[in-house]
């Protein structure tokens, strides 16, 4: 056996027992973000991707919201945050945030800094996955955040080029898809016979100039159960979280939503999608029929209602009330500057 292959197997190889069985049961992970719960929800053992065109859009904040929001859960999952190529200053802020929220007692942080060797950055997600699997295989639930897998792909490209492996598209090696698939498919929920533990993965990908069709984003999208795309244009309009409804897709439908959310949120995605389309159309004309104007005014108020500060997860009961209010009330009759008071 080639010594490099042997080294790789020792470091990243995980022996999956053939007796392990996945089960298709749906158990929601409460992320504390009303807009995510209303659009799709997150379930145990699911793999959800956060895409964002550039830095500072709130990708990490949404993931931290999901970790912090587990604090009050009866059977809260163990959380693992993998910082892959992140600056030390950012990690210090994240640790301080989690400590302030009381979330560090159930959270493990795995770090590989930008000035570390490429091998460390490449291996950090695998180390985090191994920790998550330990909890999963011991009849517990675990939630792991990979922040972000783009940097892991860059590290693997660097290693492969040093090893003189044939470069492919964008100079990535031919097995870059296998790199992420073998990592993300370790997220699973075991059958009751195997203990019933679960591992849920939330990978973060940074897109280049908002191009969701890039090589790494499309690879990870094809593996995950859905993606949440953050749009810089919405962010500049102070829409937080800046979730682009049109490109945020679920491949499990409403099965990840609890019954209360499913009942009140049926129209939410359609209403927001119609609003965004009509708002773009209204930039080119002032002659709008009354129904179109009503839809736009309603959409403006609904987006304000769904605004949420970073690192302030919302209890599920409040999420249900907020979504119900936005979808079913005559919210277009409320003045825009009174929306947050109306929410309270």
Strands 198-207 and 249-250: unpaired
Classify the phi-psi angles of 109: left when phi > 0, otherwise alpha if psi is within -120 to 50, otherwise beta: beta
Cβ within 8 Å of residue 244, ≥6 positions away: 229, 230, 231, 234
* 178/174 Cα distance (integer angstroms): 9
Strands 249-250 and 226-230: antiparallel
* 66/59 Cα distance (integer angstroms): 11
- For residue 332, the cross-strand partners are none
CB 129 within 8 A of CB 182: no
Taking Cα atoms as reference points, which of 256, 261, 225, 240 lies closest to residue 310? 240
CB 261 within 8 A of CB 319: yes
Strand ranges inside 101-215, DSSP E: 107-112, 141-147, 198-207
Active-site residue list: 251
Other CB atoms within a 10 A radius of the CB of residue 90 amount to 13
CA dihedral 205, 210, 214, 219 (to 10 degrees): 30
Strand ranges inside the chain, DSSP E: 28-29, 42-43, 48-53, 78-84, 107-112, 141-147, 198-207, 226-230, 249-250
> 308 to each of 65, 118, 150, 231, how far by Cα in Å?
11, 36, 27, 16
* 171/129 Cα distance (integer angstroms): 26
């Amino acid at each position: 056996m080639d010594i490099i292959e042997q080294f790789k197997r020792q470091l990243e190889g995980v022996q999956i027992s053939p007796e392990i069985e996945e089960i298709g049961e749906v158990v929601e992970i409460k992320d504390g973000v009303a807009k995510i719960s209303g659009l799709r929800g997150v379930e145990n053992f699911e793999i959800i991707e956060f895409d964002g065109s550039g830095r500072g859009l709130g990708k990490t904040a949404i993931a931290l919201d999901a970790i912090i929001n587990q604090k009050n859960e009866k059977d809260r999952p163990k959380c693992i945050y993998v910082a892959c190529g992140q600056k030390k200053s950012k990690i210090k802020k994240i640790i301080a945030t989690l400590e302030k929220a009381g979330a560090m007692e159930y959270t493990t942080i795995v770090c590989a800094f930008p000035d570390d060797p490429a091998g460390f950055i490449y291996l950090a997600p695998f180390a985090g996955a191994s920790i998550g699997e330990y909890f999963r295989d011991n009849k517990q639930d675990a939630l792991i955040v990979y922040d972000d897998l783009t940097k892991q792909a860059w590290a693997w490209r660097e290693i492969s080029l040093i090893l003189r492996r044939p470069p492919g598209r964008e100079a990535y090696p031919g097995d870059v898809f296998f790199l992420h698939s073998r990592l993300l498919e370790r997220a699973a929920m075991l059958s009751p016979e195997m203990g019933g533990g679960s591992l849920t993965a939330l990978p973060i990908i940074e897109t280049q100039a908002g191009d969701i069709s890039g090589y790494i984003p499309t690879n990870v999208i094809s593996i995950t159960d859905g993606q949440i795309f953050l749009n810089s244009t919405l962010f500049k309009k102070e829409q937080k979280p800046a979730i682009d409804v049109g490109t945020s897709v679920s491949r499990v439908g409403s099965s990840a939503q609890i019954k209360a959310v499913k009942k009140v949120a049926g129209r939410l995605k359609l209403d927001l999608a119609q609003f965004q389309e009509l708002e773009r159309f209204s930039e080119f004309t002032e002659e709008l029929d009354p129904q179109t104007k009503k839809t736009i005014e309603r959409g403006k108020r609904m987006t304000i209602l769904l605004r949420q500060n970073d690192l302030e997860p919302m209890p599920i009961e409040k999420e249900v009330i907020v979504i119900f209010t936005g979808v079913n009330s005559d919210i277009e009759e409320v003045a825009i500057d009174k929306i947050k008071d109306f929410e309270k």
